[in-house]
A and B are shown apart, each in its own frame.
Chain A
Amino acid sequence: KAGVTQTPRYLIKTRGQQVTLSCSPISGHRSVSWYQQTPGQGLQFLFEYFSETQRNKGNFPGRFSGRQFSNSRSEMNVSTLELGDSALYLCASGTGQSNEQFFGPGTRLTVL
């Protein structure tokens, strides 16, 4: 069974731009969670989607948004990028019935 895939793996943007990251969960998994990882703050939860509905949201500004499609694939969008948004963005998939989450390789976003 294929693991979690994320595209693109690397991205360079400039301040003020917006970006969309994509995540394909493990086949059969209906839950997708997104995390931001930085050296200073570690791994922080952004939001979680299950069956196209956002069930939980972390403490990030409204510039961070996401959605989930009927095939469970998920996207997250960051608008009006700031230098501090530079980070590794990780998505994790799960069945939604157990709490185990399986991570993708991440998207490394650099904001210049």
Chain B
Amino acid sequence: GQQLNQSPQSMFIQEGEDVSMNCTSSSIFNTWLWYKQDPGEGPVLLIALYKAGELTSNGRLTAQFGITRKDSFLNISASIPSDVGIYFCAGQATDSWGKLQFGAGTQVVVTP
């Protein structure tokens, strides 16, 4: 089953609106990653976070590594139609080689 609690499960927003989603974990992670997956494709890495408190941007996307190291947030500003997809958070614990634990995903639907 899922290791991380990701919310919301889905979002229906209008073009131009901002989107926020978050993940919480009972475990401490040393890395948080955010991915986007389109139908029939593999997840695409959007942002990687390595330090507690770190805030990183990638274009209209901004993500933060929570100071407790048990949570992370992703914001999408001024959404556009191509932002449609499923967004996943993933965390990796110390000494957990190559093992990412994934949230259940947030489905984003953007209407014109």
Contact between A56 and B102, CB atoms less than 8 A apart: no
Contact between B98 and A31, CB atoms less than 8 A apart: yes
The segment out of A14-22, A41-49, A76-84 that lies at the interface is A41-49
Closest to B95 in A: A56
Range class of the A interface residue count: 20 to 34
Interface of A is mostly: strand
Count, chain B residues at interface, CB 8 A? 27
Contact between B100 and A103, CB atoms less than 8 A apart: no
Contact between A42 and B102, CB atoms less than 8 A apart: yes
Contact partners of A92 in chain B: CB under 8 A: 42, 100
Which parts of B74-112 form the interface with A (CB within 8 Å)? 88, 90, 92, 96-105
Complex: A58 Cα to B99 Cα, angstroms:
8
Contact between A48 and B105, CB atoms less than 8 A apart: no
Does A64 belong to the interface (CB within 8 Å)?
no
Contact between B104 and A101, CB atoms less than 8 A apart: no
B32-56 interface code vs A (CB 8 A; 1 in, 0 out)? 0101000011111100101000000
Contact partners of B101 in chain A: CB under 8 A: 45
Complex: A33 Cα to B103 Cα, angstroms:
17
Residue ranges of B at the interface with A (Cβ–Cβ < 8 Å): 1-2, 30-31, 33, 35, 40-45, 48, 50, 88, 90, 92, 96-105
